[in-house]
Structure 1
Amino acid sequence: MSDHAKLILEGRTLELPVVVGTEQERGVDISKLRADTGFITLDEGYVNTGSTTSAITYLDGETGILRYRGYPIEVLAKHCDFVEVSYLLIYGELPTETQLTNFRHSIRRHTMLHEDMRSFYNGFPRDAHPMAILSSVVNALSTFYQDALDPHDPDQVEVSIMRLMAKLPTIAAYSFKKSTGQPFIYPQNDLSYCENFLQMMFAVPSEPYEIDPDFVEALNLLLIVHGDHEQNCSTSTVRMVGSSNANLFASIAA
């Protein structure tokens, strides 16, 4: 098969490169179409458009295939926890024991929210949707953590990633607690990622909370399966906002 596609416009024949994806999908590279012809393509809803090349996730819902960095989801779900899979998605390979230990430590040191952020929750009506609260609080993180907002600095981006991974369970749990009228529960860094989230969600100060291992396992699997969604609507939105040089918090909140 030819490695170029031919497009005829106003009697002029253009040769456009054919690119092959990680799963052998084939696409036509039109990145120079406008510069060469003045024409653009119209593809409402990106139905036939790939916005970038990526080796992170392959998803085929019709056949039940999901791979992260080439690893089948079944293998990852059986042998890894969500934090390990997150490392794989971020850095492209599964961590060594030392790398995983350091990664877990980096997340744990950022689980707390600044106490002044509690005022944000106080300002929302009790019947506000938890997801709306979560999005608003994530966007506000940039005002509290201004030391790592440069999207062009890999070290600052990495710090923001750690903060988001660490604080999102706390933010989500506080959003839920707001809707139930219960007091917020601080994170406990001696617990695993999923255990910590469950105790912040469902524990109350008046009595002990026993974390059900079945719930931990179910939540871990749920987070792994939803760890990345290929080039879906939310991914495309984050990329679109990020392309304007917005900080990571603003891109994720969108």
Structure 2
Amino acid sequence: MADSDATEESIACFSPGLAGIPVAESAVSYVDGKLGHLEYRGIDIEQLAERSSFEETSYLLLYGKLPTANELAAFDAELRHHRRIKFRIRDMMKCFPESAHPMDSLQATVAALGMFYPFPKSLEGELGPKTVHQVCVNLIAKLPTLVAAHARMRHGDDPIAPRDDLSHAANFYYMLTGEKPYPLTERILDVAFIVHAEHEMNASTFSTLVTASTHADPYTSISAAIGSLSGPLHGGANEDVLHMLNEIGSVENVEAYLNGKLERKEKIAGLGHRVYKTRDPRATLLVKLYKQLTDKIGVDTDYQIARQVERLSESTLGAKGVCPNVDFYSGIVYRKLGIPTDIFTPIFAIARVSGWLAHWKEQLGNGRIYRPSQIYTGKRDQSYIPLEDR
């Protein structure tokens, strides 16, 4: 084949952002973007949101099956037991600037965990199941503690120690606010954790796999995933939605705002998804949660503006498959619970770590490093020019 033919073939195969190109085989989750359908290990996300818990869903993602009552009790007990963090981690966090974003703090502290919990290999060169299990428990259990501790320490407050008598969701809310949540608040956070726990080959999951493929330790791999999640095109979108709602200000301003965005061909925060061509099923579940909450404490302006944005955008963008995604409503739910805006994406990480670890476990059996190719577009066969002649 001639060089020109090879170049043309490479260009034909080039897909910006690897769009539509499979990079792994996985049994963790399934997404049907056309139908707006999401499954974890073959179980519909709606069933899990209605009937499961985050602890049980995490076990399902990690081990490929729903646990028995005894298995779930043992897994839950381990998570509760390993919530605490080393005092040197807390001392390190005290040195962070007060202006540090919570995602930057989380990425740094997760990476540091690897120094306190070394990741050995067996003599056969393969990781034992107990070692792998302990890593998963450590990270799932400690991420809420890391997020809540930084959230308080940056304001000069002491971190609140975790409570072993509370669920994963309730304990996080307690460590963050100092108050035990109402049952409805606990349930809303629990479901939010479930719907954010996994979503196949997104940017942060891919980051996990790329890093893990080099045989880097799992704490480094999860830290890399957190770094990817921190970007506004991935996990930070729910913060952008609230900024947009604040900018709009009232229901009456929605139409003019949307028209201006469309005329300038600008992106509307919280609308559209690389996979879904219809409404994100996770957004539907979050709206249900919000309605339960507003039945208790009333509807606020954010929700009214968001609903108007969704209604008016249906006629112009809905036909193009641009519909509300999970970020469109998650921020509204969290704000209603009194959670600071810059904690929204760390909550995403607290949930998604279960999915990242499930994919990490699959990667362990692969052993092939990710090494994609590129299409070179620069000059060739150039001569070196001596410094005095330039």
Residue 219 (1) aligns with residue 189 (2): yes
Contact 1:130 1:179 in 2 (8 A): no
Partner of 1:73: 45
1:200 aligned partner: 175
Deviation of residue 158 (structure 1)?
A: 1.4
TM-score calculated relative to the size of structure 1: 0.79
CA contact (8 A) 1:195 1:211 kept: yes
| Other-structure match for 1:115 | 87
CA distance in 1, matches of 2:98, 2:223: 21
Which one of 223, 230, 233 corresponds to residue 253 of structure 1?
223
Please name the residue that 1:191 is paired with.
166
1:108–1:237 distance in 2 versus 1, CA, 3 Å: same
What aligned pairs does 1:57-206 form with structure 2 within 5 A after superposition? Answer: 57-146=29-118, 148-150=119-121, 152-153=126-127, 154-203=129-178
Residues 149, 247 of structure 1: 8 Å contact kept: no
* Structure 1 residues 62 and 173: CA distance shift in structure 2, 3 A: farther
- Aligned match of 2:204 in 226, 234, 238? 234
Deviations 1:43-90 (A, max 9, x none): 331113111111211123453211001100111111110000000000
Q: Could you give the per-residue CA deviations for residues 217-250 of structure 1, whole angstroms, max 9, x where no partner exists? A: 1111111001111000000000000000011100
Partner Cα distance (1:222, 1:61) in 2: 20
Q: Is the 8 A contact 2:79 2:137 kept in 1?
A: yes
Partner of 1:35: none
AA paired with 2:200?
E
Query: Could you list the per-position Cα deviations for residues 192-239 of structure 1 after superposition, in whole angstroms to 9, with x for gaps in the alignment?
Result: 111111100000xxxxx3422121111111110011110000000000
How far 1:109 sits from its partner (Å)?
1.8
Higher relative contact order (CA 8 A, sep 6+): 2
1:152–1:132 distance in 2 versus 1, CA, 3 Å:
farther
For the residues of structure 2 that align with 1:219 and 1:61, how far apart are their CA atoms? 25
Q: Distance in 2 between matches of 1:119 and 1:194?
A: 25
Between Structure 1 and Structure 2, how many residues are aligned?
213
Poorly superposed stretches of 4+, deviation over 6 Å: none
Contact persistence 1:57–1:66 (CA under 8 A):
yes
Shift of 1:128: 0.5
1:45 aligns with 2:17: yes
- The percentage of counterpart residues that share the same residue type is 36
1:95 CA drift (Å): 0.3
CA distance in 2, matches of 1:66, 1:149: 35
In structure 2, stretches of 5+ residues that fail to align are 3-11, 225-390
CA distance in 2: counterparts of 1:138 and 1:149, whole angstroms = 17
State the Cα deviation string for residues 160-214 of structure 1 (Å, max 9, x = none).
Answer: 11100110110111121133332100001111111111100000xxxxx342212
What letter corresponds to residue 193 of structure 1 in structure 2?
H
What displacement does 1:119 show? 1.3
